[in-house]
Each structure stands twice: as structure tokens, then as C-alpha cells.
Amino acid sequence: MMRLSARNQIRARVTSVTDGEATANIELDAGGVRMVASITMEAARELGLTEGSEVVAMIKASDVILAVPE
């Protein structure tokens, strides 16, 4: 087990994996909330991610920017 500084850890299930040339888009279901993670193809292969995989999404961000139309 590894201890991490990231405090936003969300358990999720992979609902789809879309491979690109260098990046894979991993669609997640986090308790009814849809999330998409873009990771390298190499990382997706190393993690063995497939539809139905159980994962923990870890989010570490310094900014969250919201906008609304004028």
C-alpha cells in the first residue's frame, strides 16, 4: 500500500476505454457521476484497464475554473 498526498480519491468503475494514437480516454462511473480521465496509452496498458475495472481516481488540482455564458 502507498500513502499519497492527493486527498480527492474517488472509487469508480471503468465503463469504456477509447484508444487514441498516444492517449486513452477512460470513462468512469463514480457512483452515478460520469468522469473521463485522459492517460497515456502506455499507462492504460500497464494498468490493464478494461470495461468493468475497479479503480480509484485521484485528483490533485490547484485550480478549478467555472464559467457561465453572458
Is 11 a residue whose pLDDT tops 90? yes
**Structural domain count, the chain:** 1
What are the phi and psi torsion angles at 42 (to 5°)?
A: -60, -45
Q: Cβ distance 5 to 22 under 8 Å?
A: no
CATH of the domain at 22: 2.40.50.100
Residue 33: all three cell numbers together: 457521476
Instruction: Establish if 33 belongs to a structural domain.
Output: yes
What domain range is 41 assigned to?
13-51
Cβ atoms < 10 Å from Cβ of 60: 10
* Cβ atoms within 10 Å of 22's Cβ, excluding its own: 8
Tell me the pTM: 0.81
pLDDT tens by residue, 33-57: 999 999 999 999 999 999 999 999 9
In a domain, 2, yes or no: no
pLDDT of residue 33: 96
CA–CA distance, 28 with 5 (Å, rounded to integer): 22
Is 70 contained in some domain? no
Q: How confident is the model at residue 61 (pLDDT cuts 50, 70, 90)?
A: confident
Per-residue confidence band for 27, with pLDDT thresholds at 50, 70 and 90: very high
Asked if the model's pLDDT at residue 18 lies above 90, the reply is: yes
